[in-house]
Amino acid sequence: MSCCSGGWGLWANNDGALFALSGRNVERLDVVHAPGEARLRGAYARMTWLFPNLSCAPRLAFVQGLGGRGGIYADGLIVIGVEDAIDVAARIWRSDYSQVVRTLARPHHRTQEDLMVALVVEVMGRVIAHELGHAVRRTSRYRTPYQNEELAADFTAGWIERRTSKIGQLGCRIFHAIGCNEIPCTHPNSAARVCAYAWGWNSGAA
């Protein structure tokens, strides 16, 4: 299966191995089992049900890492980097530990490691929603207030999260953490991403 999007090519061979092509570089992506994978796949199924015009939901795969890219969407395939999600979660953990505890602490989270795993799962869930946002923008009649591809996907992620009863405050913190604040950068900065996500989240209440 060959899939191309935004300068990326993704394909899977008959053994299920994934490969990414960018320019002239080909990289093998190591498929892994993600923390909370069953829960994430269930959440992803509920996300896709929100878009009846999406003729075929992209297949979801988890890989070891994507070199800081977090997630990639190409026609028919969403790939999520586990190590990238861990990196984002670690930054949030260091900068806003008290919010993590207030938002995610549950009786079955007996250790800080349990809490960190829960945060990593939350990060991956938001990245999945963002990548699905790319898919629905390109393959259905769903429209957003944004022309920018990334901000449109952030808006859609917020809308999805509100419709699936996710916590908007934590989502804003995650999208702030994945913003790109360097100049130049291929993706929007933290403030723009939080604004797009929050707008989508508020719109999801309608």
SS (H, E, C) 127-185: HHHHHHHHHHHHHCCCCCCCCCHHHHHHHHHHHHHHHCCCCHHHHHHHHHHCCCCCCCC
Domain ranges of the chain: 2-203
* Strand 77-81, strand 59-63: pairing: parallel
59-63 β-sheet, strand order = 59-63, 77-81, 71-74
Q: Rounded distance, CA 197 to CA 199, Å?
A: 5
Residuewise pLDDT in 10s, the chain (206 residues)? 233 344 456 656 555 666 666 666 666 777 889 999 999 999 999 999 999 888 778 889 898 888 777 888 876 789 999 999 999 999 999 988 887 877 887 766 678 888 899 999 999 999 999 999 998 988 777 788 888 899 999 999 999 999 987 777 889 999 999 999 988 888 899 999 999 999 999 998 76
Specify the pLDDT at position 165.
75
Can you read off the two tokens belonging to residue 137?
Answer: 């923008």
Specify the pLDDT at position 5.
42
Specify the pLDDT at position 3.
32
Specify the pLDDT at position 109.
66
Specify the pLDDT at position 6.
46
Specify the pLDDT at position 93.
93
